[in-house]
Structure 1
Amino acid sequence: MSYERHGSGHGGGGRRRRRDDYDHYDHHRRETQESPDHKLKAAIIKLGEVDAEQELPQLAAKLLSQEQSSIPAIAEGFRLAYALVYLRPTAEEENGSASIAKPPLGRLILNDFWKGFQAYLDKLAWRETRLCIHFFAHLTVTNLISPQSMLGLLQSFTAVLDDFGVSNGRAKRAARCAMEGLMRAGRVLKEHSATAVQAYNDSLRATKWLVHPLAYMHSPDIPVEHAEHADEILDCAVSALKTLDLSDFLDVSGIFPNQLEALSTETSDDAPIKKEEWPEYMLRLFDNDVTADPKTPAGYAVRAGLIDIIEIFEVNRKECARLLVEYPKWSVKGTFKPRPGSTAEASDHIPLPGRDWQLESTLIETILGAQFLLPESAAKPIYYTTLITELCKLSPQTVGPAVGKSIRKLYAYCANGLDAEVLRRFAEWFSVHMSNFGFQWVWKEWVPDLALPVHHPKRVFVHRALELEIRLSYYDRILKTLPQPFQEPSAGAMPDQAPGPTYEYDDPTAPHYDAAQSVLNQLRSRTKPDDALVHLDTLKNNLAETADIGEDPDTLIRSIAIQSLLHIGARSFSHFLNAVERYLVVLRALSGTLEAKVHVLELVANFWQRSRQMVGIVFDKLMQYQIVEPADVVGWVFAHSAEGLDWDLLRGAVDKANGRVVVARRRVATLRKEDDDAHARAKANSNGDVSDAAAMDVDAETMHDPQVTQAEDSPQLVTALKAYAALTREQKSTLARVLEGFVHTLHSSSDAARRVIAPGAWDGHTSWRDEEWVAWQNWMWYKHFCRAYSPYLRSFVTTLTVVSFASLETASDDGAVLMKRIWGMATGQE
């Protein structure tokens, strides 16, 4: 497969020459602008790219020859990519015969490095902090840092675990800093154990159940048979540290080589609670003899290193892919099998016991594990998808088979309790990956699964993946890639026709065809909104006289007008936006009541019944222009959940309500600051004897409550506060509506929802019908809603508990107990 883009015969060569000339000029310009300090820093960062053992003495000599003015640049280079260059004094300096007396360069660099480390701590840049501790641990082993100093540093991190009210995210990251430091410096810190970390990790037992990617709903714990299919990062760290402790840390040098490890000056985005408050489970796809086992010291070191590289190089997926493929250069020889066609001959390869892993399988498993992290991955899912694509381009013969094996393993997990959110991300990754490689897949392997119930997870995955492939290409093209059984309409894998609108009044024989044509012609001619409303009123009066018994004129005219607008906008997204914006007055007039809003949503869903994507787009725009509210969409979704909950629509409504509050809060904060600054200036001007600095001093701890209106607030701020309060009430209403919908769906009205969580129910899941599978997926969506939106739910926990769980307060059946348990874990009450 070629990824090159070939130019046309007209001017292609000239463009190529001009581009080459520019690249040469740009490279020359960058070279001439690089200062000596920049070159020095670059040399440190690139150490080990070719041969670290040969480069190390040369770089050390170069560093030792530098003046003290270069210390900040050198320290910055070490922070960006630390290398264990032993910067001890030279022999002459040790004997006191140096021409100029000066402190050892290593000490000066460490002092500057320590300043950077403290800056990372202040910014809560946990990844950078942890990698600095790796560096300190290596230096402790080489006696450049005293064991007492290192021990004190690590104990300061474990002390965080005992702080009152410490968040799970902060404790987890502090624990990793301490444990990974111990792993590397354990030989000299043998007396310091990880007891505090072990106790903290045990306290997370209940919470871990909520985010495990494979867990039965009826079990209060993670089933033993699922424990081997996913690894939690703190569990793995504790297990690896125990193994090292039992071996007296004798194998550390064979696990953590003193070679280049990457760092970044970018501060990681660890602030949102939903990203850091949960244990982190990485899904396993291969056996321990194929990929690195993170429960072992060597496996943990490999996994942690790969994850750090993946996170650091999010800004450059091509560079990340290159470094991942070259990762064995920085590993102990024998950790990975030699790549086919590499210079390393099989006869020269000496595998290490318990290792000798396949690099490509380890990379794909690690990337997918990060992408499927619950409740949310650290980076955007598309980053992991494109990273795998880059790996396939670099080495298609070795990465391609690993990707294929991963897909088959994930597909097998679909019928083994795979979380609904992981299944959704799996379908998205699969479809995008297929689009990058000609949509070629061995679909015939899955033909027998077409006999499963329509709502079986495997069928759900296939239907969703093909739906997404059609969005990324064309219906006819995707149809040709499938074997005949998948093409049959009865199979339920592919729709019977391409995505498109369904206009009820397109047929001249349809009822009210003439009335619909008159409205359509008016809208096409861009009639003024007021004139369109007059025409609709006139038409409604006429319909009232001619309508059949039982037909409501208001409902009829709404159906005609909404479908006509959608029909005009069906040509393209821009056509749709123009039509909506031009006739906002008409839309608001047609959706003045709750019943009317529900009818509008129904009309949209019917018009775009062959394109779920367009349903979501139109719903989003209707919420944006406040034709309908997020709570209206939530109600509509649960009213149509008998065939399975549409999570995409539900998530869109909740995100819209939450997003409005975030924007309003920022608006209030901005206006509040402007008001405070204006008041401070006015006060300073009215009191000439008070200095500007004293008059404008504002205590960050006494900031105004965003919902409190002060007498001196500006009109703009008062308006913003009112809007913020209104949007907060809407947010609370939307969240309550979601919870009430789940209570009704899972507890009040579904026998199947109770059957699938009964003890032993999963043992007979192979005989489940569509009703049971729909109920099972609804349970998982409830679980995901609670964990994904826990920061918002905790803000209104008291109100939501009273309003939404009133019917469950005294209930003690299995369904009520499970709903309250999930709610308690998500909101921090359990």
Structure 2
Amino acid sequence: MAHPHRYSHGRHDRSQHNDDEEGGSRSKRSRLEYEELIAKERLEDLIAQLGNHSTIEQHETVQNNVHDLSMVLESEIPKFKDAIIEVLVACASERPDKLRVYGTLVGLINLKNHAFVGEFLERLVKELRTELQSGTSWSNLLCTVRFLAELVNYRVVAPASLLQLFNSFLGVTLEEGIPQARSDFFVHLVLASLPWAAAPLAEKHRTELMQLLSSVDSYRARRSLNHVTAVQSLAGQEDWIDSLWHQIQSLAKADWREKCSLRFEAFASMLASPDAVCHSLPAAIAPQPHEEASAAIGSSTSSYPPPRTVFRLFDYTDVPEDGPALPGEHSIERYLVEEHLSALIACHYHDRKECAKALLSARFGVRVPLPYMITELVMGQMLRLPQSDLLHLFYCSLLIELCKEDPETMPNVVAQATFSLFDRINGLNAECLSRLAKWFSYHLSQCKYQWSWSDWTDECQDLVFSHPKLVFLRDTAQLLVRFSYYDHVRKSFGPRLAPMLLHDKPPECHYKYDIEEDFSPEVVQSAQRLIDAIRERCTPERAIEVLNTLPVPAGGAENGGPNERHLLLKVDVFFSTLLFLGSKSFSHSFAALAKFHSVCKALVPLDNQAAKLRVLASLYECWRWHEQMLIVLLDKLVKVQLVDCQAVFDWLFGDCLGDSGEGLLPKQELSRCYSWDAAESTLSKMCKQLARLNEDWAKARQRYDSYHEKMRSGTAGDEDAAAAQKLPTDQSGPAAMLVDEDTPTRDELDAKLDRLEKARQELRLLVACLLRCAVWGAEGGGIPSDEACSGSGDEEANERHLRRLVYERSLACLTMHYSDVKPAMRDLRAQPPVAAHSVAAAQKFCNAFFSLSD
């Protein structure tokens, strides 16, 4: 068959030839663009991967890589200038573990191309301004300022301009009517960046540096320390700014020379060359005024970082004498090592294996007992209040990986840290005690459940029920049952310790209506008929008929009328039977609740608080030996709206607050972690529900206002106008909203607002309940000594321990949801829901709460 183009006209042939030429040129351009893209990505990868996994042995290799990359970038800047600047800016603000590597790289480039470095600094300062205005990443802001300070060492940034930047930050301390969290952050920003440029600043501007430190010291003298109560995980911890101030003073005594940093000395003479151009930073870099910053930050979920205390677990006596000495707690080397290790965690937290390798291969200019400092840092971050920076499970898995990477040292150090915390557990915050039990149980589950429990058996024999040591071991034991099984855990603890920590019965469902001695024969027979009916797959209507055959229980007027007592009995029998029949697994229980959901709703009216409490009491009586099942089913009951959040709080805390009612959770159960897990989960659900309703109402209000503004201004679209003309004549004004399905009517908007107000009121009641619990706990009189706690019958010491635990867990529960509960706490601060003699305790609690931000 002949080729079709052979017989085409000449014009067509020439057109085809031209198309071929254009196609070839397009292909050539595409190939060149592709090659350029590959080269650009290769440069970006070279910059981003510079100095990865460097160890002390690889220091010279990294030094050569930095020099080689500077030469490569110098030749590629004319072609890929914007891409190189973009990557360098990202690395400067997001890789705090490699500031000295990138600082040296920029310093070397500055020797040959100071114009490029000037543009880079402009972009970096622009990024700094963005971070100051947005308030969405304070860690990136700190990293950026530290990088600018690091550049002073390489004659890239003028020391005077850095001091000017620091003084602009300290100007925040002179503002009036601002929260301490704002001034604390900027003071910490200056102090935390100063060690990176301390030596050149002291050499060239010592007087100005001393004036800056004098301003910081003046601020320290007048700042409040109310927050220490709320954020101190272990008794005796030092405030973060006070601790850093002492470390800066230690640096000053050493003539501003620290020994920890590893810089590339081979470039020292090059970087000191007079050819290097010192760039000055713009003078207009300053924090926004508080009102503008509050508007920007308040529109997002972020706020100023809360204050902290410094976690200290080891001192020089805890490390081996034949190894490197542990730097003192106020030495600048201790701070710099901890900051570098924290930076490694922040950069590698997405991969626990890589994180463990990076931590154990960290390099410094001085020898330090690295396993001890890593363990102390990870423990401190895991126990940080009000909450950890990362997931609790990450820290648990990281410690396991560290033990795997260094099996000779790390397991012994972790065990030593555990024994140290157990010895000091009386000073450990109750919230941190619960986290410690969760970590310890997970750690043992990964280590074949091996531990020398006999070391703790003797000292636990005479302790009261709510003593922190028994609380820790009891929570650990219950969590170990989840990872393993009851008999194995009981055997591991031994015959002396197991009875104090584990329930007498294995974690099984307890059905109380199969014992005629405890109930009348009629009740037991009706319960059995209900079991038979459900097993025969009866309908919900048939289940209600069986429940109606229950006899009306006798009782006085204090137990409610006959109808009320009969309803509560039906609720108890039905839910106890349903939970018993679904006890095989979570799925069986969920399926049973779903099938008979209509019966549950009929038995538990929305306005009957006693019926809701009876449901929760039945749940506790069935599953009191299985805390995990209890927590999961409680969560399910809230999700399917059989009980509300207020009922859960009334059931959890009613006994300790002296409320009347049957079936309330015994207050001694508040010493178990499951009760507070339930409280925190319930409060979290309420906060999320309120956030959803708030967002829904705000969007509806915006649509409503926007549509009516268009109708008033006459800018509605043709379709809207045409649709409005089709409305009946009596539907004008607000009725015109019906033309837009997404625009709510006024009645719908009011209904959304009513739901929002009800949710706010319910959250206010939950917060008030926790505030009352905290006041009840504060009236306990503080921490009892170990000597006062001897004797299992010492009810006073047991009560004081329980009150202290309730106080600390209530405060932690609220501070973990600080931004959500803050409006409710402001209302309650003015009128505390407590008796007159407890107002002072309530105000003290509120001061500790608001110190995190105000």
- Asked if Structure 1 and Structure 2 have the same fold, meaning a TM-score greater than 0.5 normalized by the shorter chain, the answer is yes
Q: Are residues 1:302 and 2:337 paired?
A: yes
Counterpart for residue 129 of structure 1: 141
Q: CA-to-partner distance for each residue in 1:460-487, whole Å, 9 max, x for gaps?
A: 1111101001111211232343334334
From 405, 421, 429, the counterpart of 1:419: 429
Q: CA-to-partner distance for each residue in 1:715-741, whole Å, 9 max, x for gaps?
A: 554332221111111111222233334
Does structure 2 retain, via aligned residues, the 8 Å contact 1:137–1:184? Answer: yes
Counterpart for residue 353 of structure 2: 318
CA distance in 2 between partners of 1:63 and 1:116 (Å): 22
Q: Are residues 1:155 and 2:167 paired?
A: yes
Cα offset for 1:165? Answer: 3.7
Cα offset for 1:327? Answer: 1.0
Cα offset for 1:422? Answer: 1.0
Alignment of 1:496-575 (within 5 A): 496-506=504-514, 511=521, 512-537=523-548, 539-540=549-550, 543-544=551-552, 552-575=565-588
Alignment of 1:392-403 (within 5 A): 392-403=403-414
Alignment of 1:606-621 (within 5 A): 606-621=621-636
Counterpart for residue 772 of structure 2: 740
Q: Compare CA radii of gyration and give the structure with the larger one.
A: 2
* Amino acid of the structure 2 residue aligned with 1:361: Y
Counterpart for residue 26 of structure 2: none
Counterpart for residue 241 of structure 1: 248
Cα offset for 1:561? Answer: 0.5
SS at match of 2:199: coil
Does structure 1 retain, via aligned residues, the 8 Å contact 2:67–2:108? Answer: no
Counterpart for residue 578 of structure 1: 591
SS at match of 2:618: helix
Does structure 2 retain, via aligned residues, the 8 Å contact 1:44–1:77? Answer: yes
Cα offset for 1:58? Answer: 1.2
Q: CA-to-partner distance for each residue in 1:751-776, whole Å, 9 max, x for gaps?
A: xx24x56xxx6485354735423433
Q: 1:54 to 1:582 in 2, by over 3 A?
A: same
Alignment of 1:416-495 (within 5 A): 417-451=427-461, 452-487=463-498, 489=499, 492-495=500-503
Q: 1:214 to 1:687 in 2, by over 3 A?
A: closer
Counterpart for residue 679 of structure 2: 650
Does structure 2 retain, via aligned residues, the 8 Å contact 1:647–1:781? Answer: no
Gaps of 5+ in 1: 1-30, 95-101, 216-225, 261-267, 337-356, 690-710, 748-752
Question: Which one is further off, 149-158 or 788-797?
Answer: 788-797
Does structure 2 retain, via aligned residues, the 8 Å contact 1:544–1:553? Answer: yes
Cα offset for 1:213? Answer: 2.2
Counterpart for residue 619 of structure 2: 604
Does structure 1 retain, via aligned residues, the 8 Å contact 2:169–2:187? Answer: yes
Alignment of 1:339-378 (within 5 A): 357-378=368-389
Counterpart for residue 697 of structure 1: none
Q: Are residues 1:43 and 2:46 paired?
A: yes
Does structure 1 retain, via aligned residues, the 8 Å contact 2:775–2:841? Answer: no
Q: Are residues 1:659 and 2:662 paired?
A: no
Identify the structure with bigger relative contact order (alpha carbons < 8 Å, sequence gap 6+): 2
Q: Are residues 1:825 and 2:853 paired?
A: no
CA distance in 2 between partners of 1:76 and 1:377 (Å): 31
CA distance in 1 between partners of 2:556 and 2:806 (Å): 43
Counterpart for residue 60 of structure 1: 70
Aligned identity (percent) is: 22
Counterpart for residue 214 of structure 1: 234
CA distance in 2 between partners of 1:168 and 1:532 (Å): 61
Does structure 2 retain, via aligned residues, the 8 Å contact 1:256–1:301? Answer: no
Counterpart for residue 686 of structure 1: 715
* Amino acid of the structure 1 residue aligned with 2:213: A
SS at match of 2:82: helix
From 255, 258, 268, the counterpart of 1:252: 258
SS at match of 1:643: helix
Cα offset for 1:284? Answer: 2.3
Cα offset for 1:623? Answer: 2.3
* Amino acid of the structure 2 residue aligned with 1:252: E
* Amino acid of the structure 2 residue aligned with 1:36: A
* Amino acid of the structure 1 residue aligned with 2:456: W
Gaps of 5+ in 2: 1-33, 268-296, 320-325, 656-664, 719-742
Q: CA-to-partner distance for each residue in 1:6-59, whole Å, 9 max, x for gaps?
A: xxxxxxxxxxxxxxxxxxxxxxxxx99982222222222332334322222212
CA distance in 1 between partners of 2:589 and 2:69 (Å): 62
Cα offset for 1:274? Answer: 8.5
Cα offset for 1:495? Answer: 2.4
SS at match of 1:38: helix
Counterpart for residue 179 of structure 1: 191
CA distance in 2 between partners of 1:300 and 1:241 (Å): 10
Counterpart for residue 795 of structure 1: 823
Q: 1:188 to 1:548 in 2, by over 3 A?
A: closer
Q: 1:148 to 1:548 in 2, by over 3 A?
A: closer
Counterpart for residue 622 of structure 1: 637
CA distance in 2 between partners of 1:774 and 1:269 (Å): 41
* Amino acid of the structure 2 residue aligned with 1:118: R
CA distance in 1 between partners of 2:35 and 2:424 (Å): 56
SS at match of 1:560: helix
Does structure 1 retain, via aligned residues, the 8 Å contact 2:259–2:333? Answer: no
Cα offset for 1:825? Answer: 2.7
From 637, 649, 658, the counterpart of 2:652: 637
Q: 1:117 to 1:742 in 2, by over 3 A?
A: closer
Q: CA RMSD in A?
A: 3.6
Does structure 1 retain, via aligned residues, the 8 Å contact 2:352–2:401? Answer: yes
SS at match of 1:194: helix
Bigger share in helix: 2
Does structure 2 retain, via aligned residues, the 8 Å contact 1:736–1:803? Answer: no
Cα offset for 1:793? Answer: 4.9
CA distance in 1 between partners of 2:412 and 2:68 (Å): 41
Alignment of 1:98-109 (within 5 A): 104-109=115-120
Cα offset for 1:429? Answer: 0.5
